[in-house]
Amino acid sequence: MKKILAGLVLASGTLLAGPRFAIGIGIGVPVAPVYVAPPVIGVAPGPGYFWTPGAFYFSGGHRVWRGGFWAPRGFRR
């Protein structure tokens, strides 16, 4: 009797559980990358100067930004 009752309880639990289906469709527009225009650097301070763009460099274990600057021809960092 106990086995029949246990069987009915287990069978009724599976009868009440209905099948579940899920369908997903994703439609999205890709996000365009953001471009930032370089800052206005002005006019060279004199003939023979060129603009050196800014760059990151390491200092004290972390990266630091150094802005661009005007350099004379033949200048080496």
Check residues 12 and 29 and name the one with the higher pLDDT: 29
What is the rounded distance in angstroms from the CA atom of residue 59 to the CA atom of residue 64? Answer: 7
Beta-bridge mates of residue 62? 59
69 touches 39 (CB < 8 A): no
pLDDT number for residue 41: 73
Average pLDDT of 23-36? 76
Other CB atoms closer than 10 Å to residue 66's CB: what's the count?
A: 13
C-alpha 41, offset from chain centre:
29
Q: How confident is the model at residue 38 (pLDDT cuts 50, 70, 90)?
A: low
Query: Residue 59 above 70 pLDDT?
Result: yes
Check whether 47 has a pLDDT greater than 80. yes
pLDDT value for 55: 84
